[in-house]
Amino acid sequence: MNDRVNSGTSISRNILKPRRLALLGTVAALGVAVLVSSPISPLGLTSFVAPAQAAEAAATPPGFGDLVGRVKPAVISVRVKIDQDNDKTAMLQQNRMDQDEDSPLDQFSRQFGFRFPDGRNGMPRQRHQVITGEGSGFFISADGYAVTNNHVVDHAQSVQVTADDGTIYTAKVVGTDPKTDLALIKVEGKKDFPFVKFSDQKPRIGDWVVAVGNPFGLGGTVTAGIVSASGRDIGNGPYDDFIQIDAPINKGNSGGPAFDMNGNVIGVNTAIFSPSGGSVGIGFDIPASTAKLVVAQLRDKGAVTRGWLGVQVQPVTADIADSLGLKEARGAIVDTPQDGSPAAQAGIEAGDVITAVNGTAVKDSRDLARTIATLAPGSSVKLDVFHKGDSKTVTLALGELPNQRQAKADQGKEAQPNAGTPRLGLALAPAADVQGAGQKGVVVTEVDPEGPAGQRGIQTGDVILNVGGKPVANVGDVRSELAQAKSSGKGSVLLQVKGADATRFVAVPLA
């Protein structure tokens, strides 16, 4: 079975299989131990504790009971109903981690002859169904505002929440943000709900974390672990910046909170990496810093608006940096500015590298996308831009990101460097001479798969628009720019290539 990233939503009930538990013995390190106390164990052995171990034991909290007692009342179970006639329920089906496999419930039902109204086990599947889904959430205010995942409540006909004391309430969806997978819901009728707050500090790798949720519909469940990593990109969306934790997260934990030792929410559980559909100790949380910004907008406006620059960008690789004369492989290189966008109106061109926003360095293309998304539409920003060998500052007013658009941060198609020469291993023809290729650039009519360009993903039919930052119209132009790049001592040359789907930059090595 292939590894996959799964959302934590529980769509159907599960029967848990018993598992064997292995008890791990403790092996003392070799060295001199100082006797701190000498209780007699059941085996008649005297216990020794080294001073460093004793100090560490004294500093370690005895448990999480006090913390859990404070925060658990604010955590809720979220149950939704969705009409299957809605063609948008494909999202929900995608989130079913066991949709293509027999669950333990399926196997159990076949063995004992049970049948289900959803058409499993031989019964014809009904055309009209209501699907139920479960997730988790948590109150963030005494008047009933609660946070959960977008994929938990998306397209829900009705939403019910169950509090820690078992009380069931009806909730309404205030707003959702698919790009960050966050949603805000509201329970009316009370002003004294227990609630928790988002942390103002970024957790450190190695810090304790306690996750609370409702896995498998069992009710409130608590797991503990540490922060394993930060800034994770799992390909979930354009603004991925997940905290990775090893506290177990299972189906039904989606939307639940992860707490630090002060009882503040450091993240919202949203996904797991799993080869089996169950937790293997690799879970991903939306950071509190992101959740605070999104939730504030959902509460005020019911939707999220983001700044829009209007560029398609890709990371600056070492080869691209070398070909442009940049000292470091940092920033985001502009593939294409969109027509009429703020970037295009400000004079930003293809091949420019955006290195900083409002004085803060840009790490890569995703960093640029996240930074711009946190700024309000209409706000003025200063961009540091590396343009044709020179650095300059561009000031512009951001537009508003339309709902149907997403900031594109392509990962590029660079392969491993391959020894080559100014001969790229290509056969070229002027685009104007090839029907359907347009009037600009040269068309790739043949590719040597072992050549430098072929190794970098250039394919037959691609159109090379410029070489080394200069437009090319024929083979002679290409040769001239290759020779110029080599004579100037560059290790690679940057090509702007138009493919079937998009325009991108490719750095091809020169010997």
Of the residues 10, 103, 228, 254, which is catalytic? 254
Residue 254 is among the residues annotated as catalytic for this protein? yes
Residue 129: what pLDDT?
53
CA 464 to the chain's CA centroid = 33
Of the residues 103, 151, 260, 367, which is catalytic? 151
pLDDT exceeds cutoff 50 at 125: no
- Per residue in 72-111, pLDDT tens? 999 999 999 876 555 444 333 333 333 334 444 344 333 3
Give the CATH class of 1-14+46-301: mainly beta
Residue 147: what pLDDT?
96
Domain boundaries along the sequence of the chain: 1-14+46-301, 307-409, 426-509
Share of the chain above pLDDT 90, in %: 35
Which contacts qualify for 460-465: CB closer than 8 Å, 24 or more apart?
461/499, 461/500, 462/497, 462/498, 462/499, 463/431, 463/437, 463/438, 463/497, 463/498, 464/428, 464/495, 464/496, 464/497, 464/498, 465/440, 465/441, 465/496, 465/497, 465/498, 465/503
pLDDT exceeds cutoff 70 at 39: no
User: Which of 3.40.50.300, 3.40.50.150, 2.30.42.10, 2.60.120.200 is the CATH number of 307-409?
Assistant: 2.30.42.10
- Per residue in 331-369, pLDDT tens? 999 988 888 889 999 999 989 999 999 999 999 888 898
As a whole number of Å, the end-to-end CA separation of the chain is 43
Residue 365 is among the residues annotated as catalytic for this protein? no
Same fold, 1-14+46-301 and 426-509: no
Residue 116: what pLDDT?
40
* Confidence tier at 438 by pLDDT (50, 70, 90): confident
- Per residue in 270-306, pLDDT tens? 887 766 666 677 889 999 999 999 999 999 999 998 8
Of the residues 181, 260, 322, 364, which is catalytic? 181
Residue 51: what pLDDT?
61
User: Which of 3.40.50.980, 3.40.50.300, 1.10.1060.10, 2.30.42.10 is the CATH number of 426-509?
Assistant: 2.30.42.10
Q: Please give the C-alpha separations between residue 387 and each of 213, 347, 371, in angstroms, as whole numbers.
A: 50, 10, 21
Residue 106 is among the residues annotated as catalytic for this protein? no
- Per residue in 197-214, pLDDT tens? 999 999 999 999 999 987
Whether the Cβ atoms of residue 186 and residue 146 lie closer than 8 Å to each other? yes
